[in-house]
Amino acid sequence: MKILIAISSKEYSAPTLDVGMKIARLLNASTTIVDVGEKINEFSIKDINLANELMETWDMDRPGVDVLEWAYKYLEKNNFINTKHIGEGFPKHSLIDSGTGRAEILLKGSTISNLNLILRNGDIIEELRNEIQVHDYDLTIIGGSGRRNMAHDLVQYIDSSIFIVNSFDSNKKYKILLAVDDSPGTGKAVKYAVRVAQAFDINVDLITVSKDNHFGEGCKRASEKSQKMLRRSGIDYIVHFKKGNPVDTIVKTAGSNHIIIMGASTQSPLTKFFMGSKPLNVIKASDCPVIIVK
């Protein structure tokens, strides 16, 4: 299991980092924390390299390293990493620049199997997409963003499962809202829900929504299959069958104290591009964390 946690600034990234590291630790996953800095105009890129090289001779960090350092200290303070093995704290001098807009800080020894801190510059979707394609992550964890189209671009172009940490409060007790229907993505979503529920030791609300009162055979079977999986895994769950618009119903049921888990849409990319999809609309409308499983 490989997890990518995308952070942006010291001000807003703490919840993302917190929940991301909890998941990583519980699933014993190899984790990479990435800070995607602003895109640098090509006219100026070499001048900025020059300035950065000079900064090093002054013993100052290049921009972005401070965000990683903050993340490192946050992990240290919250006992996600064990600094005894590293010795001298944040090893900023081990920044390795691969020259392709990706720089990495190598960390040795931590309480989770493998932790990487990396720095990228550019358009966030392009950089994340490239990182995921090259390094093959299973789950991308990212904070909610005010940027227009961000949710669309994430759902459409990011190849891994996505966890959008929308208004997450680490002191709150969450439940999982697992949305199942007859679509092919459901099976994977259920497996994910089981792992997350076991890891956090939390209950599941299993929901199936139909536009009218009639629930098709496929939906019923999907719900039964999911119940069987949850039962076998020893997870407490409640089954809901609800009538209404799927997106509205899921968002309303979730409120702010659930983590929504649902499968990715399996419609063709073109349809999704023009018509949108259920997962996308759920992300846009919801006021709680959402996991879209691919």
What phi and psi values does residue 58 have, to the nearest 5 degrees? -90, 5
Contact 178, 190 (CB under 8 A): yes
248 binds another protein (CB under 8 A): no
Q: Which region among 39-47, 196-204, 250-258, 281-289 touches another protein (by CB under 8 A)?
A: 39-47
Q: Would you call 78 exposed, middle or buried from its count of C-beta atoms within 10 A (0-12, 13-18, 19+)?
A: middle
Q: Which of 120, 67, 121, 69 shows the shortest CA–CA distance to 93?
A: 69
Which residues, numbered 104-163, are part of the site for another protein (CB under 8 A)? 126, 129, 156-157
47 binds another protein (CB under 8 A): yes
Rg (CA), the chain: 21
Contact 209, 179 (CB under 8 A): yes
Nearer Cβ to another protein (65/207):
65
CB of 135 to another protein, least distance (A): 18
Which residues, numbered 154-183, are part of the site for another protein (CB under 8 A)? 156-157
199 binds another protein (CB under 8 A): no
SS3 65: helix
| Other C-beta atoms lying within 10 Å of the C-beta of residue 35 | 24
233 binds another protein (CB under 8 A): no
Q: Which region among 22-30, 165-173, 247-255, 267-275 touches another protein (by CB under 8 A)?
A: 267-275
Contact 125, 36 (CB under 8 A): no
Nearer Cβ to another protein (40/202):
40
CB of 70 to another protein, least distance (A): 9
CB of 270 to another protein, least distance (A): 6
12 binds another protein (CB under 8 A): no
Exactly one of 41, 98, 171, 213 binds another protein (CB under 8 A); that residue is 41
Q: Which of 18, 20, 27 shows the shortest CA–CA distance to 4?
A: 20
What's the CA gap between 46 and 220, in Å, rounded? Answer: 60
Which residues lie near another protein (CB under 8 A)?
10, 37-38, 40-51, 53-55, 57-58, 60, 63-64, 66, 126, 129, 156-157, 268-270, 273
